[in-house]
Amino acid sequence: MADASNNNAFVEFERVQKSYDGEVLVVKDLNLQLPKGEFLTMLGPSGSGKTTCLMMLAGFETATHGEIRLDGRPINNIPPHKRGIGMVFQNYALFPHMTIAENLSFPLEVRKFGKSEREEKIKRALDMVEMGAFGGRRPAQLSGGQQQRIALARALVFEPELVLMDEPLGALDKQLREKMQFEITHLAHRLGITVVYVTHDQTEALTMSDRVAVFNDGVIQQLAPPDELYEAPQNSFVAQFIGENNTLEGVVKEINNGIALVQLDDGELIDCKPVNVTKPGERTRVSIRPERVEFNKDRLQGGAHLLKATVKEFIYMGDIFRTRLSVAGNDDFVIKSRNAPDQVRLEPGAQIEIGWLPDDCRALDA
Ligand SMILES: Nc1ncnc2c1ncn2[C@@H]1O[C@H](COP(=O)(O)OP(=O)(O)OP(=O)(O)O)[C@@H](O)[C@H]1O
Ligand SMILES: [Mg+2]
């Protein structure tokens, strides 16, 4: 961390800890650097410390230890009106006594924009969230989803360099939510805005972000681009939290040439990629994505270990088939296959053999 302050990070958390009560750390040793223009999402279960991190970055809470820097300067030394941060709070926080237009005008007035420029920016921001006709209403006269869209418009109206968003789409229906996801990412990239986004919706995190920080219990479990996070989870928590995942439990027998031989609890042996297991005798959870499991013998690689499986349930989902199997004592082993003309529809009760590439089968912490 010797060169921490002369790198070109735009936002930087260095060894940040936070405790509200002086006892429990809700954020533990957080290190994070964002270059300008990055879209970073904090993803994690309820209570894992996401909002706390945003509040510290916005300057509403102070770190108990460590430092947060914006463009190289400690955040606490920058007066709030010079921070250039747009923020969407988890609970909207619109000014109730002001109309919608006045809510949007406020950040512009603070920044000394003239009347005609304000009107033009307000119109553009309201149109973006499809709320152009609502400028004269007060927040209480809007639905939750509409208030959320206004909160979003207010955060973006002054084209800030940094935008912090805490679950900004939680109250929207699926269709509007997907449209707004698209709008937000495009707008951010077009204007070069740096975004720190908080959600507990993993699909949203994967589709919107340049990188995702997976939080659990005040610690970043993994920080990576979406494809890496999904395809190469570094531990069991991340594997379970991101996407659907099959787990088989067992013990590491040997590790040779980058392949771990794992004996599953029912006695079967399989080859895996050792991710965070290091030696024979260690217990492990083996993780395999449903779409990486193959049951068509022609498509299986020679030499791969095969496991016997019993088909429990076949679910037709339109674009894909989802089949539940019993494998090595696990009755919830799911495989997904594309609905192609030559795809087999497995019948419940059928006995099959399944396999996969050792690289797709990851031996993680138990
Ligand atoms: N003002 C506060 N005073 C005391 N404890 C707090 C305060 N704000 C949050 N906490 C605690 O800190 C922990 C982290 O809370 P935080 O709001 O950061 O979680 P989160 O990841 O945003 O969760 P959610 O997804 O539910 O919004 C929780 O255990 C919470 O109870
Ligand atoms: Mg929160």
Query: Domain locations in the chain?
Result: 4-231, 244-365
Pocket of ligand 1 (CB under 6 A): 20, 26, 44, 46-52, 90, 200
Query: Who's near 233: CB < 8 A, 6+ residues apart?
Result: 222, 239, 242, 275, 287, 362, 364
Spatial CB neighbours of 291, under 8 Å, sequence gap ≥ 6: 335, 336, 337
Residue nearest to atom 22 of ligand 1 (CA): 51
Distance (angstroms) between ligand 1 centre and the Cα of 61 equals 12
Atom of ligand 1 nearest to the CA of 20: 4
- Report how far ligand 2's centroid is from the alpha carbon of 46 (Å): 7
Alpha-carbon separation of residue 100 from 84, 95, 97, 135, 154 (angstroms) = 21, 9, 10, 5, 9
Label residue 361 left, alpha or beta by phi (over 0 means left) and psi (-120 to 50 means alpha).
beta
What pLDDT was estimated at residue 303?
A: 66
**Given the CA of residue 61, which atom of ligand 1 is nearest to it?**
1
Q: How many A from CA of 58 to the centre of ligand 1?
A: 15
C-alpha to C-alpha distances, 20 to 24, 52, 56, nearest whole angstrom: 7, 10, 12
**CATH top class, domain 4-231:** alpha beta
Query: What is the pLDDT confidence band of residue 4, given thresholds at 50, 70 and 90?
Result: very low
pLDDT at 2 over 50: no
Residue located via tokens 């260095």: 14
| Mean pLDDT, the chain, whole residue set | 91
Nearest ligand to residue 88 Cα: 2
Distance 20 CA to ligand 1 centre (A): 9
From 16, 48, 55, 60, give the residue whose CB has the most ligand 1 atoms within 8 Å, as the site to mutate. 48
CA distance 9 to 127: 33
Residue with tokens 């495989």: 335
Q: How far apart are CA 68 and CA 252, in angstroms?
A: 42
Closest-approaching ligand to the CA atom of 52? 1
Handedness of CA 203, 41, 154, 56 (dihedral sign): positive
Tens digits of residue pLDDT in 264-276: 999 999 999 999 9
Residue nearest to atom 8 of ligand 1 (CA): 52
Backbone angles phi, psi at 112, to 5 degrees: 65, 35
Question: Given the DSSP bridges, would you call strands 361-365 and 269-274 parallel, antiparallel or unpaired?
Answer: parallel
**The predicted structure's pLDDT at residue 219:** 93
Architecture of the CATH domain 244-365: Beta Barrel (2.40)
Q: What share of the chain is helix, strand, coil (3-state, %, to 5)?
A: 30, 35, 35
Angle, in degrees to the nearest 10, between helices 115-128 and 100-110: 130
The Cα 150–Cα 92 span in angstroms is 8
What is the pTM for the complete model shown? Answer: 0.86
Q: Are 358 and 259 in contact (CB under 8 A)?
A: yes
Write the pLDDT tens digit of every residue in 57-113.
998 899 999 999 999 999 888 876 778 899 888 777 899 999 999 999 999 998 899
